[in-house]
């Protein structure tokens, strides 16, 4: 990035617990910052129209579509991608539940699904309330899967959210 570009801005933000400072152009999408600038390719590029959820990441704990979010707006905020879920070799409980419930096939949707489940888990804990199966389905309706038929993903989410 050309540092003296009139359309670039220096921003500082946190990704997976690590602080970054980068020049970003005003039109850059968050998904491009994450994948191309930071090399975190666990977040997938799908429709780029806010329809598939493959690009989902957590912004301060809540799921967003990174294909619809301008990178410049992450200044001062905390992003978590799927790479931030595991600790070394140890998987996060959402990832473990998805694997143990057979909720992963080709895997293209899986990081987005895990992000949405994590977002629901955070909200559920904040509200001290376990979501119903219908609410879990609604919470995942922004994430498309071509492989699993959704049942196993909903069961994995249910296991996590009922803990
Ligand atoms: S790539 Fe963002 S919603 Fe499909
Ligand atoms: S596991 Fe293949 S798209 Fe969901």
74-128 tens-digit pLDDT: 999 999 999 999 988 899 999 999 999 999 999 999 999 999 999 999 999 999 9
Token representation of residue 112: 């987005």
Q: Domain 93-161 is in which class?
A: mainly alpha
pLDDT of residue 7: 87
CATH 1.10.150.120 in the chain, residue ranges:
93-161
Rounded Cα gap, residues 53 and 71, in angstroms:
17
CB neighbours of 20 closer than 8 A, spacing ≥ 6? Answer: 12, 13, 14, 38
Closest residue by Cα to residue 108 from 147, 138, 155: 147
Query: 97 C-alpha vs ligand 1 centroid, how far in Å?
Result: 24
Query: Which atom of ligand 1 approaches the CA of 50 most closely?
Result: 3
Query: 70 C-alpha vs ligand 2 centroid, how far in Å?
Result: 26
> Which ligand gives the minimal distance to the CA of 46?
1
What fold does the segment set 8-84 form as a domain? Ubiquitin-like (UB roll) (3.10.20)
Q: Which strand ranges, in their side-by-side order, compose the sheet holding 18-25?
A: 18-25, 8-15, 78-80, 56-59, 62-65
């Amino acid at each position: 990035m050309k540092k003296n570009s009139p359309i670039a801005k220096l921003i500082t933000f946190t990704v997976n617990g690590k602080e970054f400072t980068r020049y970003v152009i005003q039109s850059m999408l968050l998904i491009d910052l994450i994948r191309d600038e930071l090399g975190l390719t666990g977040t997938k590029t799908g429709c780029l129209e806010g329809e598939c959820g493959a690009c989902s990441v957590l912004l301060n704990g809540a799921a967003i579509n990174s294909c619809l979010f301008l990178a410049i707006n992450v200044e001062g905020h905390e992003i978590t991608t799927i790479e931030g879920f595991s600790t070394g070799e140890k998987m996060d409980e959402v990832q473990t539940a998805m694997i143990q419930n057979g909720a992963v096939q080709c895997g293209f949707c899986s990081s987005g699904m895990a992000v949405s489940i994590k977002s629901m888990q955070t909200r559920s804990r904040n509200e001290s309330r376990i979501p119903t199966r219908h609410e879990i389905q609604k919470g995942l309706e922004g994430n498309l899967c071509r492989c699993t038929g959704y049942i196993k993903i909903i069961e994995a989410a249910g296991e996590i959210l009922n803990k």
